[in-house]
Structure 1
Amino acid sequence: MNDTVLKFENVHKSFGPAHIIRDVDLDVHRGERHAVIGPNGAGKSTLFHLCSGQFAPSSGRILLDGEQISGLRPAEVNRRGLARSFQITNIFPGITVHENLRLAVMRKHGLQFSFWRFAGRLSAVNAEVEDLLDRLRLTARAGTLANQLSYSEQRSLEIGMTLASDPKLILLDEPMAGMSQEETDYTADLIREITRGRTLLIVEHDMSVVFALADRISVLVYGEIIATGTPEEIRANAQVKEAYLGEEVAA
């Protein structure tokens, strides 16, 4: 079995004269948690947009499990096995936690267009929803409207909806953004638990989370990956410290 789930081959993205991503080569290995870090404006969001189909590369190829996905629309990329959680929480606020997860699970089974009156009879779907609620620590909140959850609970629900499709690769875009320290600790622990054995690509600005969570880290600066390695290797990399991390990584 190929050890690489996501592969960038000499990927370049420009908007007119602005070169945002510059000949990026990147491998995300099966079953690893891989973080992308870098200063604001480094191109991290563009990199994620390229992965998930919002943008097509100007040149180069992106492969998911050996199949080219560059240039495909987001819905097709999702069907190929990539699921993404965005910086801004993306849930259905006016329905319950259980109903949000049930919609996500039904979509995986191709049942999203079934009449609501039949949804309660779908025992397999409901069993998956109950399992997700348990893993997300949201069982007690199953009947709560999504817009009444705390911010960290809403992010947990969104991550659960991402997991519901049983993807080959999960993209998490700044999942801790806007959280208190308590919420960050809770969410980081949840991500570590529910992505165990799965392949995760994450962009996150909280370096304590990145270095505690990631198996490998890639550093993106001015659209170029200047280093990839284990957290220990990135901590010790003089070029990375000079370009981005500075004294923060030593601390």
Structure 2
Amino acid sequence: MNTDAILTLRGVRKAFGATEIIRGVDLDLRPQERHALIGPNGAGKSTVFHLVSGHYTPSAGEIALAGRRIEGKGPQAINRLGLARSFQITNIFPGLTVFENLRLAVMRPRGLQFCLWKRIGRDATIRRETERLLEQVRLQHRASTLAGEMSYSEQRSLEIAMTLASDPKVILLDEPMAGMSNEETAYTSDLIRTVTQGRALLIVEHDMQVVFALSDRISVLVYGQVIATGTPQEIRANPAVKEAYLGEEVSA
């Protein structure tokens, strides 16, 4: 394992029956690095996220978070060790207000989400942390709005805040800009850059303009294998990457 990396995958494989989806992935995520995982549809990017976050168990290989093996652990255990993720589909409670959604996320790492005997509304620590996160993702003016009534980009901002609630060392974002307009994409990209400062980010995103502008390094996944890892400039110039995935996009 790479002791300089905060997240390491070595020889990771995942098969569903006779079909092998992930075929020996090696990947290192450095502390405070923004690292994009790109590749064509069906390459296995979301499967890698499921493996890292504990929703799937690898068929083979090792995954380590801050030097500690995590393959086979469940999502909650991995979250407690310092890793949080968002999903392709917005994962919020539309009938609750923005404040209530985020307060639930703040309560979870403190073990208070199922606490029925305590008046959480009177807990000043929970309230202050919720308000701090709302301000960090620029949603303080929407605190009393039902989450289901917000725009899609605002809902994604709320989900990012909920991801930050456990104060993770590593954040996984799965296509956070999917379905957004150009203006929403620019806003969300700037927000991600701001809120991930001091943390490591692994992001799956199909918008290549965002990927090349946001990432410190990029890994390219094709048919369940990483075919290249490098800086945006190195990936842009890599002939194998151009042939396998980027094509003309690389010079856009």
What's the TM-score once normalised by structure 2's chain length?
Answer: 0.96
Aligned residue number for residue 24 of structure 1: 25
Which deviates more, 42-51 or 16-25? 16-25
Distance 1:107 1:201 in 2: 23
Which stretch shifts more, 169-178 or 72-81? Answer: 72-81
Q: CA deviation at 1:129?
A: 1.0
Alignment of 1:186 onto 2:197: no
- Quote how far apart the aligned CAs of 1:36 are: 0.1
Alignment of 1:59-208 (within 5 A): 59-115=60-116, 118-208=119-209
Is the 2:24–2:225 Cα contact (8 Å) retained in structure 1? yes
Q: CA separation in 2, counterparts of 1:111 and 1:130? A: 17
Q: Equivalents in 2 of 1:3, 1:159: separation in Å? A: 26
C-alpha contact (below 8 Å) 2:54/2:72 kept by paired residues? yes
CA RMSD of aligned residues (A): 1.2
Note if 1:43 corresponds to 2:44.
Answer: yes
TM-superposed deviation, 1:3: 2.8
* Residues 116/184 of structure 1: CA separation in 2 closer, same or farther (3 Å cut): farther
Gaps of 5+ in 1: none
Runs of 4+ in 1 over 2 A off after TM superposition: 113-117
Residue type at the aligned position of 1:112: Q
Could you tell me which residue of structure 1 aligns to residue 231 of structure 2?
A: 230
The alignment partner of 1:4 has SS state of coil
**Alignment partners' CA distance in 1, 2:171 and 2:10:** 20
2: distance between equivalents of 1:108 and 1:123?
16
* Structure 1: distance between partners of 2:215 and 2:173: 12
Shift of 1:107: 1.3
Q: Residue 24 of structure 1 aligns to which amino acid in structure 2? A: V
Aligned residues: 250
Look up the SS of the partner of 1:75 in the other structure: helix
Q: Using the aligned pairs only, state the percent identity.
A: 68
